[in-house]
């Protein structure tokens, strides 16, 4: 089976970084909306007893999961950006070396 190469350039990495940041922002807004909805339902006394307790547990889980998403998403975006920077620096060095060898 022939091996296939996947070419990823720095622009693709930066676009992916941007998409990760956008997804984190969207996740934050969705979780905030969800938490507010649950808080409003519990606050209106539509849920009481075990249902209210479960709703509060759900809020805690949403906040915990969002925290993980944001932390790991931030790390991913940061590393994508750094990798793009390194790639561009290496491309520049390679071009300079080639020009030096070829006399151009």
Digit-coded pLDDT (tens) for 61-101:
999 999 999 999 999 999 999 999 998 888 776 666 656 66
Inside any domain, residue 6: no
Kindly state the average pLDDT of the residues 24-49: 95
Domain with 54, as residue range(s), is: 11-90
Predicted pLDDT of residue 24: 97
Residue 33 predicted with pLDDT over 70: yes
Q: How far apart are CA 90 and CA 84, in angstroms?
A: 10
Inside any domain, residue 71: yes
Cα distances (Å, whole numbers) of residue 12 to 5, 33, 35, 70: 15, 31, 34, 21
Inside any domain, residue 1: no
Structure tokens at 37: 């909805």
* % the chain with pLDDT above 70: 86
Residue 103 predicted with pLDDT over 90: no
Domain count across the chain: 1
Q: How far apart are CA 17 and CA 14, in angstroms?
A: 5
Q: How far apart are CA 26 and CA 19, in angstroms?
A: 10
Structure tokens at 20: 């990760």
Inside any domain, residue 97: no
Inside any domain, residue 67: yes
Cα distances (Å, whole numbers) of residue 102 to 28, 97, 99: 52, 9, 5
- pLDDT bin (cut points 50, 70, 90) of residue 4 is confident
Q: Cβ distance 10 to 88 under 8 Å?
A: yes
DSSP letters, 6-34, are ----HHHHHHHHHHHHHHHHHHHHHHHHH
Quote the pTM value. Answer: 0.78
Inside any domain, residue 3: no
Inside any domain, residue 5: no
Inside any domain, residue 98: no
């Amino acid at each position: 089976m022939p091996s296939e190469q996947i070419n990823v350039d720095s622009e693709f990495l930066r676009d992916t970084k941007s998409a990760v940041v956008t997804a984190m922002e969207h996740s934050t807004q969705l979780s905030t909306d969800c938490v507010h909805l649950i808080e409003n339902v519990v606050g209106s006394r539509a849920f009481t007893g075990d249902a209210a307790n479960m709703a509060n547990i759900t809020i805690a889980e949403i906040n915990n999961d969002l925290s993980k998403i944001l932390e790991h998403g931030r790390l991913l975006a940061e590393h994508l950006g750094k990798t793009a920077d390194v790639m561009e620096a290496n491309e520049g060095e390679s071009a300079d070396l080639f020009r030096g060898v070829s006399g151009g």
